[in-house]
């Protein structure tokens, strides 16, 4: 039997990068994957690719930064697909390496709405069903920027640190309820997350000052394999942990 046979797995930001790789990997292991992202065309493309391989997927447009939209989408998932067994909070945006003094308030709120609030909203809507059934797995995608101070700007760094704290809190609070919650902290990965950035000069200069120690970028599929382990029964006693997947970058 495949590792995730007949499990319902929701993946936010699931149409590109790490999210897409996770969606594909989970589907190949038997999960019914629900792909959530901002654009209908990209969501449909991933769903069609999964189905073309003989696996199961369902897609929905969703901006996780809006609590009401998340609530409505989750209600639709419960009705159309079933109870959620695995919740992967992957959706995230960067912040142009803005140091605190230069952060625009609109940007600050936008980054936190997606990277932190969106993660919380999805956990908040998913947990009641998991508690009722006394089983479920949540996986949050943080970053080495959630463990260190110099991998991005102030907003992204604050949000990803907070995701780590949220992960540990959920893990401890519900450890006796059959629910596990872990996080992955990727280093540099070949994704499109920085395609539309306009880096702040000071912030970028300071952040890249340590880039000489960075190993080659990971492929999204390498992060997806770490995700597969953490949501599977192979990691049944792993709870409240942050798995750093950075090729040894932070070991320097």
Q: Please tell me which residue in 156, 174, 204, 252 is annotated as part of the active site.
A: 156
**How far out from the chain centre does Cα 150 lie?**
20
Query: 171: part of which helix (H) or strand (E)?
Result: helix 154-173
Dist CA 95 CA 85 (whole Å): 31
HSE-up of residue 250 (Cα within 13 Å, Cβ side): 17
Cα separation, 171 vs 180, in Å, equals 6
Name the residue among 102, 103, 123 with its Cα closest to residue 112. 103
Identify each DSSP E strand in 25-111 by its residue range: 32-37, 56-61, 86-89
DSSP lists the bridge partners of residue 12 as: 36
CA 224-78-242 angle, 5° bins: 30
Q: Is 156 one of the catalytic residues?
A: yes
CA dihedral 52→14→64→199, nearest 10 degrees, is -140
The token duo for 82 is: 């079933």
Query: Which residues are the active-site residues?
Result: 156
């Amino acid at each position: 039997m495949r590792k995730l046979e007949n499990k319902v797995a929701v993946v936010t930001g699931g149409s590109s990068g790490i999210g897409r790789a996770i969606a594909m990997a989970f589907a190949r292991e038997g999960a019914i994957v629900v792909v959530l992202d901002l654009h209908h065309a990209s969501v449909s493309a991933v769903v069609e690719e999964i189905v073309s391989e003989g696996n199961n997927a369902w897609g929905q447009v969703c901006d996780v930064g809006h609590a009401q939209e998340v609530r409505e989408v989750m209600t639709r998932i419960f009705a159309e697909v079933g109870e959620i067994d695995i919740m992967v909070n992957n959706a995230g945006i960067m912040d142009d390496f803005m140091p605190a003094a230069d952060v625009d308030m609109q940007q600050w709120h936008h980054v936190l709405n997606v990277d932190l609030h969106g993660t919380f909203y999805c956990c908040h809507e998913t947990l009641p069903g998991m508690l009722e059934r006394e089983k479920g797995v949540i996986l949050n995608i943080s970053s080495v920027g959630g463990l260190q101070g110099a991998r991005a700007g102030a907003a992204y760094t604050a949000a990803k640190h907070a995701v780590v704290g949220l992960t540990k809190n959920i893990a401890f609070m519900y450890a006796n309820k059959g629910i596990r919650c872990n996080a992955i902290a990727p280093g540099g990965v070949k994704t499109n997350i920085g395609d539309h950035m306009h880096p702040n000069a000071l912030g970028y200069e300071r952040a890249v000052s340590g880039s000489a120690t960075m190993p080659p970028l990971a492929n999204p599929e390498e992060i997806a394999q770490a995700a597969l382990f953490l949501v599977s029964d192979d990691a049944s006693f792993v709870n409240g942990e942050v798995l750093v997947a950075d090729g040894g970058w932070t070991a320097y």
